[in-house]
A and B are shown apart, each in its own frame.
Chain A
Amino acid sequence: KNQVEQSPQSLIILEGKNCTLQCNYTVSPFSNLRWYKQDTGRGPVSLTIMTFSENTKSNGRYTATLDADTKQSSLHITASQLSDSASYICVVSARGTYKYIFGTGTRLKVLA
């Protein structure tokens, strides 16, 4: 069964600190993996997209890594800001389908 699991479920950090969110998946055949940020009461917004051949991609203070062999991805947030408080969702798609498998997200809270 295609699944995407994220950890931790929630995380609280102080402003300025770094953090890393994890995503493990069992989707096959793998096509690509995305990270989305969802602010409270809003729709998810794309942060990064990585294909099988990519193992790291950055978007400002956000850096995603992908290990296709172990089927793991991480999202590293550097020098966190209050505006980083949100849910971060890992999404994996299988090759040849229109369907996307969503993780349950990690809820990040950044405190001043």
Chain B
Amino acid sequence: NAGVTQTPKFQVLKTGQSMTLQCAQDMNHNSMYWYRQDPGMGLRLIYYSASEGTTDKGEVPNGYNVSRLNKREFSLRLESAAPSQTSVYFCATIRTDSGNTIYFGEGSWLTVV
């Protein structure tokens, strides 16, 4: 997982609080993604950014906002956290040449109480 750094690793929030998950990559890739992983479900796409300055909704965008600050950084913001947002969040970047390998960060464990 070298090259994709997520912070924080763990966070507990109260319902209604806001927070931002940070993601940075040093691989000079254009595409960056935010996924959530819940028990018994595959990773689900929240938002993605095909290139600097562009963002698009994935399959579960409600309750989240994103910012592609520059080519390296892609942040995910929860404006008013809800218990349903308790999950493990993964940032990923895609090497868009032969193979299109996906590189994941180490994950951020978020609990909303």
Give A residues with C-beta under 8 Å from B: 4, 32, 34, 36, 41-46, 49, 89, 91, 93, 98-105
- The reply to whether B105 and A43 contact each other, CB–CB distance below 8 Å, is yes
B73 on the A face (CB < 8 A): no
Number of interface residues of B (CB under 8 A): 26
Q: Does B31 contact A (CB under 8 A)?
A: yes
9 A-B pairs closest in CB distance: A102-B42, A43-B104, A102-B43, A43-B1, A104-B42, A49-B99, A44-B104, A43-B106, A46-B101
Contact of A100 with B1 in the complex, beta carbons under 8 Å: no
Within 8 A of A (CB), among B52-103: 56, 58, 90, 92, 94, 99-103
Is there contact, CB below 8 Å, between B100 and A91?
no
The smallest beta-carbon distance between B52 and chain A, in angstroms, is 15
Q: How many residue-residue contacts, CB under 8 A, span A and B?
A: 52
Tell whether, in the assembled complex, residue A100 and residue B41 are in contact, meaning their CB atoms are under 8 Å apart: no
Residue of A36, A42, A99, A105 near B45 (CB, 8 A) is A99
Which of A32, A43, A46, A49 has the most chain B CB atoms inside 10 A of its CB? Answer: A43
> Residue on B with the closest CB to A5?
B42
> Are B104 and A45 in touch, CB under 8 angstroms?
yes
Taken together as a complex, chains A and B put the C-alpha atoms of A104 and B105 apart, in Å, by 19
Which A residues are in CB contact (< 8 Å) with B99? 49
With contact pairs A42-B106, A43-B1, A43-B107 given, residues A104 and B101 touching in the complex (Cβ less than 8 Å): no
